[in-house]
Structure 1
Amino acid sequence: MLRFEKGPKVYLSNETLFDGTVLKADATLSLKDVHGHFKIKTKLSNSTKIDSDSIKLVSESPITLKISSKASNCLIVKLRGFKNEIIYGGGEQFCRLNLKGKRFPIFVQEQGIGRGWNLVSLLASLKGVRGDWYTCYFPQPVFFSSVGYGVVINTNKLVVADFRSKDETIFEVYDEEFELIFLDGQLKDLVRKFHMLFGRSIEVSDWVFGVWIASQGGIEAAQKVIETCESWDIPLTALWCQDWSGKNITKFGRQVYWNWSYDRKDYHDLPEHISRWKEKGVHFLGYINPFLIKGGSLYQEALKNDLLVKNEKNEPYDIVVTTFPAGLIDLTNKDAFEWYKKIIKENMIGIGMSGWMADYGEYLPSDARLKSADGLSYHSAYTVDWARLNYEAVEEANKEVVFFMRAGYLASTRYSPIYWAGDQNVDWSKSDGLASVIPAMLSMGMCGVKLVHFDTGGFTSLLWLKRTPELFMRWAEIGAFSPIMRTHQTNRPSKNLQFDSHPDVLKHFARMSKIHWLLKDYLKQELKKANEENLPLVKHLAMNYPNDPNCHRLIYQYLLGDDVLVAPVIKPHTKNWRVYLPKDGWIHLWTKKRFKGGWIEIDAPIGFPPVFLREDSSLIQDLLIKLRDVL
């Protein structure tokens, strides 16, 4: 239990967690920005302890301290470290879940290409676009300790977290004033309390739990996808056409033309087709981001009305995301904010869209000039306002519409109902491929996200990286046993295998999609429970089994709700898989064999991923009956 005493001091049981030590320091920041990747260097000097009057108690439930010092631009908070503690959190994590022993910045940015020690990462580093283990779209300064406490640094400014010492935790907060929030309990309690502070309930229609298939190229290509799904009995509930506004062929691949009005050529009579498809139960999803391609009609309108982010010369900032310049909407400008909402309401919701990908949000340059902020101080907050803009557009339109995002920060989850894991390589790598979506789902779930998913098949295809049938099929298996099953065609669709490119792949995908659709009622019930309990739908096993040390060490297994345990195969050419089952009763989905816990090795050929149902679940028999015909 946490308790507060004047001083100020915070105790965990009878041991001091925070003794009131906060230092103020002069900080020098250096940021190098390359295509949304930020190389951050910091240097501190003249550190002195602030007086206790600068630390004020705001609330005792949860314990919330307001810390301020106008005499410096960095405040350093020190907490006690504990032997053998595991530190979770930090927002989205792709490579590791235990952060103990690491020091890293919390700053919104691209995840980077490769992120590991392989040839792809080396080549990406030459272009300045290689990520580090911690770089991600959705970082958050929230941390949960296995010894029973959590801490949130409530600020939009840069935070550097330092867990390298066994005996001490240090947070460098590059702000003059912020809140330090303490949470207590086991991991599930900590996650619940964070969801209560920064999350919200999510309600979605049944079709969201169906299959969303990506299509590009226009009306005829979309119709072909529908007909393929009909002939294979694939439960298609959404067509996702990111190029609804037109295509832009670049060196990176096939990209979207960033001018948010439907392409009258390839998507001729789109509103009429959307209406007709919806009558058949197929919803239309589009795409938008906060950029406008330079020279497009909407860019010209934004330029005329002074709605774009500026550079140091007070000119529109030309931001190159991949290979072409674009203007970024200034979300601190109320007129720009309302204008962009109007575009969504009229050009997207107004033509019948049921949702869209709200992409990007990470690229605000640190030296940008905005109407009521500077680029560095507003950088991470930009993603929150981007989520709020989409949310308000939906609320004001009063339609049943969903959108999904990748970028975020503290409080983004109050607005965006769904997140996806971003742009993984089309490979098997743990650093940036298929395997990385599992810790991404787990970490985002801890940090406020109730509904999370990923691009089935991966996205980034460069050089020799191309989808193989086995890779796509294993990815589809994870998609089947996740909240939302959505495909992507990659940035180079013509060079990569798609769901219908090969008869064996299509047969496998059809089967996996049927299984996913048959989980609909279970997913609905578990989402309802997640809303009531303020928890995510995808859970780390340690949340339900906190006293099992093996569960705390797991990275590549997860619970879907409370009753389905999934241990995906994440290596090629594999026919069996080692799985850890916590002490409980478990039924192997495919063979109906019963297990009581511990490490087991199970047959796991393609089409039969390691999935186990909790024996005590009231839903177990219903699930088995529903799945019987496709097992």
Structure 2
Amino acid sequence: MITNTELEYKGDLFPSAVTEIRQDADSVFFHTDNNVILKITILRDSLIRFRYTTKGYFSNDFSYAIDKSQSHGYNALELIEHDTFYQISTSKLICRVDKSDLRILLTDLENNVILEDELGFHWEESYQFGGNIVKMSKVSHEGESYYGLGDKASHANLKGKRVENWAMDQYAFHKDQEPLYKVVPFYIGLHNRRSYGIFFDNTFRTNFDFAQERRNVTSFWAEGGEMNYYFIYGPQMADVVTTYTHLTGKPEMPPMWTLGYHQCKWSYYPESKVREITSKFRELQIPCDAIYLDIDYMDGFRCFTWNKEYFPDPRKMVAELAEDGFKTVVIIDPGIKIDKDYWVYQEALEKDYFCKRADGPYMKGKVWPGECNFPDFTNPEVREWWAGLFRELIADIGVKGVWNDMNEPAVMEVPGKTFPMDVRHDYDGNPCSHRKAHNIYGTQMARATYEGVKRFAYPKRPFIITRSAYSGAQRYTSSWTGDNVASWEHLWIANIQMQRMSISGMGFTGSDIGGFAEQPSGELYARWIQLGVFHPFCRTHSSGDHGDQEPWSFDTEIVDITRKFVNLRYQLLPYLYTMFYEYVNDGVPMLKPLVYFDQDDPQTHYRTDEFLFGNHILVCPILEPNAQGRRMYLPAGNWYNYWTGEKVSGRKELWVKADYDQIPIFIKEGAVIPKYPVQQYVGQLKFDEVTLEVYYKLGKEKSFLYEDAQDGYDYNKGRYSLSTFTFNGKENQLIIQQHKEGKFEVPYGKFKVNLHGLPFKVKTIYIDNERADAEATRFDGTTLFIDKDFTELHITGA
């Protein structure tokens, strides 16, 4: 056994014995005789913050990640001293602090161990940078599993992995490559059917080791800053994810069009090419809501300018695209070209808004425009200025969304691909070097962009997408997983990344469908579309260097498959919009890995492929070529094969046939799935009927349908409609009750109800206690039409 003394000899330092303890409201302070202070704060009965300092006092408490609007409160807080430890108890947890070295033990109220320190907190003096390398090690139990950490391109279960958090431009990254574009230092542990979470809120370069270096130890450390982490107790994974998402914040509702299909390429230009692409979508009747303009729309890659040769009248073009249902999204990068005749550069120069090196000059680096300076987005005054730059793009020209790229920040022709570490940042009044600000630079750029687009798009809702992000970025922006590759391996990676991002608080995420680098085969593109329509953000994006990647770039069979699945996404828009409502209001992830859905089943702990899309749709993509089906695992419950209607019981593996134009999709029994008619773009049709797909279950189930004006902010004034469908199935009857709340009047008043799996022959149909005959409802045995809104549908069997 390694002792603390031996490790001290190797350079690591440890807290010594507790000499003083005091309580201040919801916080307890532990002081040691070597100047360590541990501050334990009870935020909720199942949410505890641990904050350490080694200098005898705490620096200013500031975080970009924490949502300041979140609510705190607990039911119980009791502090008791024992012979060898102090004990803090809440109504859900017991936290023991060792008197000799501050090591922590967390248990539930029955003294079942949830998490325990191995060496606990220790540190290494970093004289090179004048701070500490702060470290924490925990015991990793036999059979313990780990999930989360954002966009990592590795197996869903992180046991045995080591990962690094440092936002980096990783063109054509590969499986297990570290680090990637995003930094989400939050993981979920699962042990003995109990789930917990750790959020290490430290923006320096951080590392996590999940029992790779030492078999029974999980550790995390940072190259500076504080050991500052939040412990979240479930015991259900759903509780952990929801609490973390509340802690770091949730987005507002997006405009519904952002949930449609988007088309992007590096690059669509000139204007005639853009119109050719958009016209082809309408000609082929493949729904599409957004077209993207990459860096070539600018004048010499200068942000907030237009190339008048390629786009002579952008306002007219954007308006005419909008008439055809296309919303225009443009790219904006952080690098501002050094050019004395460029108005954005001149403004920033005059106001001293660019990042500076430690010895004074502006940080200079090469990006697409050539030599650039870079705004310091950690300065609130700079963010306010940046927000104002969007007036022309949004208010005058009519652009509907902004795409922030290269904001890790990425710099060309330097070994580290980013700023020198001596660059200085304001950090909202907490001055620091780039070592601390690097990982949140992209988020603060996205925040400034969000504030500008929201200001000038009002009363409509903004749409922002970012490549780089830190925990909490979801409050301002959606994201995508960066420059992936057209390969089957990357299709597998994309599937895992979306699930991982969803349980890491960043639900509104997608991958570049088909792959950004290189060229996919028609089959790979088809399989990617089939998966991508079940991701919250759905966009094909490719590099022009490798050929075209529009659906019609392949053969007619691929066009038909693309149309079929994009049509399905548009039919499911009310279901997807409702998923987003649950995410925004309750912190519920839109995609749910099997382990999230059924953590008590050990078979789910290492599943990577299958996931829940919302609450009721199980999706399993085809991830290899020439497949006519695949083996997959059905979790607990009974499920209907979407394509065949066959009902199958869960908690077992099975072979599922999936032709070229299908992937395995199953619907949970008892579900009521709303569908809209297919539209070529959101808002194209005014319809008076919505379809309800009803899947019989012997028992009860709840489904929801959230609707509002699909844009704008009236939903915050109560102008929304939330229908709760309570399904109650019995041996010879089916009852669906609909309870409505909200002041929004939906535009339709009729329902088409498709009944799946009824075990009896229908004898009578009652709608709101009035008997309806088969002719009145046009009932054909599986489908009935209800020509009014209803409170209760009651079907009985013979």
TM bin, normalised by shorter chain, reads: 0.7 to 0.9
Q: Deviations over 1:5-57 (max 9, x none)?
A: xxxxxxxxxxxxxxxx999989xxxxxxxxxxxxxxxxx82423355410012
> How far is the alpha carbon of 1:110 from its aligned partner?
2.6
Residue 454 of structure 2 contacts residue 462 of structure 2 at CA under 8 Å; is this kept in 1?
no
Residue 22 of structure 1 contacts residue 76 of structure 1 at CA under 8 Å; is this kept in 2?
no
Residues of 2 paired with 1:627 and 1:282: CA distance? 32
Q: Could you tell me which residue of structure 2 aligns to residue 576 of structure 1?
A: 629
- Identify the range of structure 1 (304-313 vs 99-108) with the bigger mean alpha-carbon deviation: 304-313
- Identify the range of structure 1 (348-357 vs 548-557) with the bigger mean alpha-carbon deviation: 348-357
Residue 365 of structure 1 contacts residue 376 of structure 1 at CA under 8 Å; is this kept in 2?
no
Q: 2:487 aligns with which of 424, 427, 439?
A: 427
- The answer on 1:212 being equivalent to 2:212 is no
> How far is the alpha carbon of 1:378 from its aligned partner?
1.1
- Identify the range of structure 1 (187-196 vs 104-113) with the bigger mean alpha-carbon deviation: 104-113
- The answer on 1:273 being equivalent to 2:317 is yes
Q: 1:184 aligns with which of 233, 242, 248?
A: 233
Residues of 1 paired with 2:754 and 2:549: CA distance? 28
Residues of 2 paired with 1:499 and 1:472: CA distance? 8
SS at match of 1:48: coil
SS at match of 2:303: coil
Residue 589 of structure 1 contacts residue 611 of structure 1 at CA under 8 Å; is this kept in 2?
yes
Residue 262 of structure 2 contacts residue 538 of structure 2 at CA under 8 Å; is this kept in 1?
yes
Residue 454 of structure 2 contacts residue 461 of structure 2 at CA under 8 Å; is this kept in 1?
no
Residues of 1 paired with 2:55 and 2:12: CA distance? 15
Residues of 1 paired with 2:753 and 2:152: CA distance? 34
Q: Deviations over 1:163-187 (max 9, x none)?
A: 2234332222333434321111121
Structure 1 residues 550, 559: closer, same or farther in 2, change over 3 A?
Answer: same
Residues of 2 paired with 1:516 and 1:46: CA distance? 54
What is the RMSD computed on CA atoms of the aligned residues?
2.8
Q: Could you tell me which residue of structure 2 aligns to residue 413 of structure 1?
A: 474
Structure 1 residues 438, 520: closer, same or farther in 2, change over 3 A?
Answer: same
In the alignment, structure 2 segments of 5+ residues that lack a partner are 19-29, 32-36, 57-124, 126-131, 410-417, 427-431, 675-690, 695-751, 756-798
Residue 199 of structure 1 contacts residue 449 of structure 1 at CA under 8 Å; is this kept in 2?
no
> How far is the alpha carbon of 1:607 from its aligned partner?
1.4
SS at match of 2:551: coil
Q: Deviations over 1:349-395 (max 9, x none)?
A: 54211112122321242424235331112111212312221222133
Residues of 2 paired with 1:193 and 1:571: CA distance? 36
Superposed, 1:151-550 pairs within 5 Å as 151-164=198-211, 165-185=214-234, 186-214=236-264, 216-243=268-295, 245-246=297-298, 257-295=301-339, 297=342, 298-299=344-345, 301-303=347-349, 305-311=351-357, 314-321=360-367, 324-363=370-409, 364-372=418-426, 373-397=432-456, 398=458, 399-416=460-477, 418-429=478-489, 433-461=490-518, 466-492=519-545, 495-504=547-556, 505-550=558-603
Residue type of the partner of 2:467?
Answer: R
SS at match of 1:49: coil
Residue 387 of structure 2 contacts residue 450 of structure 2 at CA under 8 Å; is this kept in 1?
no
Which protein has the bigger helix share? 1
SS at match of 1:500: helix
Q: 2:692 aligns with which of 607, 622, 630?
A: 622
Structure 1 residues 263, 374: closer, same or farther in 2, change over 3 A?
Answer: same
Q: Could you tell me which residue of structure 1 aligns to residue 197 of structure 2?
A: 150
Q: Percent sequence identity over matched residues?
A: 22
Superposed, 1:69-148 pairs within 5 Å as 69-70=54-55, 72=125, 73-116=132-175, 133-147=177-191, 148=195
Q: Could you tell me which residue of structure 1 aligns to residue 64 of structure 2?
A: none
Structure 1 residues 626, 221: closer, same or farther in 2, change over 3 A?
Answer: farther
- Identify the range of structure 1 (92-101 vs 137-146) with the bigger mean alpha-carbon deviation: 92-101
> How far is the alpha carbon of 1:481 from its aligned partner?
2.2
Residue 150 of structure 1 contacts residue 190 of structure 1 at CA under 8 Å; is this kept in 2?
yes
Residue type of the partner of 1:343?
Answer: L
SS at match of 2:525: helix
Residues of 1 paired with 2:419 and 2:667: CA distance? 47
Residues of 1 paired with 2:562 and 2:225: CA distance? 53
Residues of 2 paired with 1:549 and 1:324: CA distance? 53
Residue 402 of structure 2 contacts residue 449 of structure 2 at CA under 8 Å; is this kept in 1?
no
SS at match of 2:449: helix
Residue type of the partner of 2:523?
Answer: E
Residue type of the partner of 1:213?
Answer: Q
Residues of 1 paired with 2:179 and 2:263: CA distance? 28
Residue type of the partner of 1:55?
Answer: L
TM superposition score normalised by structure 2: 0.66
Residues of 1 paired with 2:501 and 2:443: CA distance? 15
SS at match of 1:424: coil
Residue type of the partner of 2:307?
Answer: D
> How far is the alpha carbon of 1:534 from its aligned partner?
0.9
> How far is the alpha carbon of 1:513 from its aligned partner?
1.4
Residues of 2 paired with 1:197 and 1:440: CA distance? 22
Residues of 2 paired with 1:48 and 1:443: CA distance? 34
> How far is the alpha carbon of 1:193 from its aligned partner?
0.7
> How far is the alpha carbon of 1:596 from its aligned partner?
1.0
Q: Deviations over 1:313-350 (max 9, x none)?
A: 64343334579543322223444333322222333454
Structure 1 residues 395, 226: closer, same or farther in 2, change over 3 A?
Answer: closer
Residues of 1 paired with 2:381 and 2:614: CA distance? 42
> How far is the alpha carbon of 1:286 from its aligned partner?
1.1
Structure 1 residues 24, 181: closer, same or farther in 2, change over 3 A?
Answer: farther
Residues of 1 paired with 2:287 and 2:573: CA distance? 11
- Identify the range of structure 1 (451-460 vs 173-182) with the bigger mean alpha-carbon deviation: 173-182
Residue type of the partner of 2:471?
Answer: L
Structure 1 residues 246, 356: closer, same or farther in 2, change over 3 A?
Answer: same
Residues of 2 paired with 1:452 and 1:269: CA distance? 32
Q: Deviations over 1:369-426 (max 9, x none)?
A: 235331112111212312221222133333422111121112222222x221211111
Which protein has the bigger strand share? 2
Highest RCO, 1 vs 2 (Cα 8 Å, sep ≥ 6): 1
Residues of 2 paired with 1:393 and 1:25: CA distance? 51
Structure 1 residues 303, 426: closer, same or farther in 2, change over 3 A?
Answer: farther
Q: 1:611 aligns with which of 661, 665, 674?
A: 665
Residues of 1 paired with 2:153 and 2:441: CA distance? 22
Structure 1 residues 332, 481: closer, same or farther in 2, change over 3 A?
Answer: closer
Q: Could you tell me which residue of structure 1 aligns to residue 110 of structure 2?
A: none
Residues of 2 paired with 1:323 and 1:240: CA distance? 19
SS at match of 2:692: helix
Residue 672 of structure 2 contacts residue 693 of structure 2 at CA under 8 Å; is this kept in 1?
no
SS at match of 1:225: helix
Structure with larger Rg: 2
Structure 1 residues 360, 70: closer, same or farther in 2, change over 3 A?
Answer: farther
Residues of 1 paired with 2:314 and 2:333: CA distance? 20
Residues of 2 paired with 1:558 and 1:195: CA distance? 19
Residues of 2 paired with 1:400 and 1:554: CA distance? 37
> How far is the alpha carbon of 1:585 from its aligned partner?
1.4
Residue 538 of structure 1 contacts residue 558 of structure 1 at CA under 8 Å; is this kept in 2?
yes
Residue type of the partner of 2:206?
Answer: V
SS at match of 2:528: helix
Structure 1 residues 201, 388: closer, same or farther in 2, change over 3 A?
Answer: closer
Equivalences, count: 559
In the alignment, structure 1 segments of 5+ residues that lack a partner are 1-20, 27-43, 117-131, 249-256
> How far is the alpha carbon of 1:452 from its aligned partner?
1.6
